[in-house]
Amino acid sequence: MSKPKFVYVTYIQSSLEKVFAALTESDWTRQYWIRHSTVCDWRIGSQWRQEDCDDSSIVDITGTVVEYSPPHKLVLTWAGHDNSKDLSTHSRVTITLDMIVDAVRLTVVHEELDEEGVKGVGRGWPVILASMKTLLETGKPLDLTNCRKEAFMASLPR
């Protein structure tokens, strides 16, 4: 039996290049990703990580770059930092970007998750992506993603 997956699609009034940059560049991610920035050199096989903006020694999520095809596709393995060494706990994220008339269709497929993992990413991805979309379209992220991760997670409905 296959493991469950999470799929999310949104449309963003922006360019492919700008959305891809917002997903991969620290200067962008630190603005909308719950006080974390994405750090990576984006070479295939390289490690990527989500570092706390105030203390880079705090890493919450990590994984490996599987595919990097700007500005259309990004594929990563994904694990909580505590599980980074156990490859059996890694899930897989595929992000695709397509231009549809004058908007970017962003599709996230997060798979190889257990039931608890689906619940967790189902609480996180929609808010993160909504904040990124808001930032790209208005120049300002959602205020709720500017708090500490613990406060953010506690504020979400279970």
- Average pLDDT, integer, range 28-47: 93
Domain of 102 in residue numbering reads as 8-108+116-155
Return the CATH number at 52: 3.30.530.20
pLDDT at 4: 75
Kindly state whether residue 2 falls inside one of the protein's structural domains.
no
Residue 38 forms part of a structural domain? yes
What are the tens digits of pLDDT across the range 47-105? 999 998 888 888 889 999 999 999 999 999 999 756 555 566 689 999 999 999 999 99
In a domain, 1, yes or no: no
CB burial of 13-35 (b: ≥16 within 10 Å; e: otherwise) equals ebbbeebbbbbbeeebbbbbbbb
If pLDDT is split at 50, 70 and 90, which confidence band does 154 have?
low
Any idea what the Cα angle at residue 8 is, between residues 6 and 32, rounded to 5°? Answer: 110
Answer yes or no: is 124 within a domain: yes
Residue 147, domain member (yes or no):
yes
Assigned domain for 144 exists: yes
Q: What is the pLDDT of residue 85?
A: 59
Which 8-state DSSP code applies to residue 100?
Answer: E
* pLDDT tens by residue, 106-151: 999 999 998 888 888 988 899 999 999 999 999 999 988 876 555 6
How much of the chain is helix, strand and coil, in % rounded to 5?
35, 35, 30
Query: How many domains does the chain divide into?
Result: 1
Domain annotation covers residue 3: no
The pLDDT of residue 103 is 98
Structural domain includes residue 87 = yes
For residue 10, list its beta bridge partners.
106
Could you give the CA distance from residue 149 to residue 15 in angstroms, rounded to a whole number? 29
Q: Which of 4-8, 21-25, 64-68, 91-95 has the lowest mean pLDDT?
A: 4-8
